[in-house]
Structure 1
């Protein structure tokens, strides 16, 4: 009679461990809290004299950036197709010049029940290697809720990555969205998404 009782106890312990692990590792707060902290820190940076894209007058008026509510539906896992030939793209800049980037890989994913893809770029940098993929993109929110010139994602770089996490809640506007004196890369046509991405940073309105 003791064996079934022990099994019940063991099952109870395993159930408690399951809920503990679930709460510890899969609780949405573990995703939301760091995201919201990043947004708070960015606001502080934009108010600072050294790291803000704003001129003095606009910096003094600045209160905070505006975002869509976090939505984990727009945090998507994408399959990575490595490009055998990593061509150099001279990406246009807002001042008419260009900047060299490698077309490194293609990220394929699904949103709104439709297949989508984005090219992952790697800046051709002198000296230290870039530690991120650069993903400039446009979508149907541009010019309405978000900056008309498109937004960017930075993805941790892994040389032979099979998958990447595209977290559109972390999509951000370039500095030229706040100050036309800045020069920014223009998202290439192969990174135009034919859907709206209501996630991440919204357009900033100067007051």
Structure 2
């Protein structure tokens, strides 16, 4: 009987060990994938033909600055689709406006509060990827003051919001670009210390 109990205990410990190992390597694989994506983006920013940076900044560019990836800010949100008949006019940083369709709302819990973001699709686009311009309490301090963007694809009644992939608009690097400004309903009353930080013009 004692031997049987010993086998059960060892079996349970092995199962727990495998689960912990699996969790660790899943997180490690996720972090590595995020870092690879960031390295690829840095290469794009060094490119003569694809970089949003003006030549004076591109030549001195080293890399973008990010928060360390963490799955605490990979959030599964409830998705409520909306099929707007007419597009809304989103103000741009240049003072113009461009048409975007409202495609849904994403609601999620973070830091003990429930938050909601409106998701858009640019008029004329056929992509399943939805556009989320937002601000949070890091803007103007650790991140670009004009807000950041996030892209996500709905999966039925849920949508994965990975703030580790939050990125700056091109006008954060070059004011000649026209960038959509986050609407009032997408101004989050919480810090999101994930994704891209404010661009340092001198690396």
TM-score of the alignment, normalized to the shorter chain, above 0.5: yes
Alpha-carbon distance in structure 1 between the residues aligned to 2:70 and 2:85: 33
TM-score (norm 1): 0.85
* Stretch deviating more after TM superposition (85-94 or 144-153): 85-94
Number of residue pairs matched by the alignment: 198
CA 1:182 to 1:24, structure 2 compared with 1: closer, same or farther past 3 Å? same
Alpha-carbon distance in structure 1 between the residues aligned to 2:85 and 2:106: 14
Give the gaps of 5 or more residues in structure 2.
Answer: none
Q: Which residue of 2 aligns with 1:39?
A: 38
Which of 145, 150, 163 does residue 153 from structure 1 map onto?
150
Contact preservation (8 Å) 2:144, 2:198: yes
Contact preservation (8 Å) 1:139, 1:196: yes
- Please state how far the C-alpha of 1:157 moved relative to its aligned partner: 4.9
Contact preservation (8 Å) 1:86, 1:103: no
Alpha-carbon distance in structure 1 between the residues aligned to 2:64 and 2:45: 9
Give the gaps of 5 or more residues in structure 1.
Answer: none
- Please state how far the C-alpha of 1:156 moved relative to its aligned partner: 2.4
Alpha-carbon distance in structure 1 between the residues aligned to 2:152 and 2:108: 15
RMSD of the alignment, in Å? 2.5
* Stretch deviating more after TM superposition (86-95 or 50-59): 86-95
- Please state how far the C-alpha of 1:186 moved relative to its aligned partner: 0.6
Q: Which 4+ residue blocks in structure 1 deviate beyond 3 angstroms?
A: 15-18, 84-87
Q: Which residue of 1 aligns with 2:157?
A: 162
Q: Which residue of 2 aligns with 1:133?
A: 130
Contact preservation (8 Å) 1:86, 1:104: no
Q: Which residue of 2 aligns with 1:173?
A: 168
Alpha-carbon distance in structure 2 between the residues aligned to 1:84 and 1:181: 32
**1:62 paired to 2:57:** no
Alpha-carbon distance in structure 2 between the residues aligned to 1:16 and 1:108: 35
Alpha-carbon distance in structure 2 between the residues aligned to 1:135 and 1:47: 26
CA 1:104 to 1:181, structure 2 compared with 1: closer, same or farther past 3 Å? same
Contact preservation (8 Å) 1:101, 1:121: yes
CA 1:113 to 1:87, structure 2 compared with 1: closer, same or farther past 3 Å? farther
* Aligned partner of residue 59 in structure 2, secondary structure: helix
CA 1:84 to 1:179, structure 2 compared with 1: closer, same or farther past 3 Å? closer
Contact preservation (8 Å) 2:31, 2:70: no
TM-score (norm 2): 0.87
- Please state how far the C-alpha of 1:168 moved relative to its aligned partner: 0.6
Q: Which residue of 2 aligns with 1:195?
A: 190
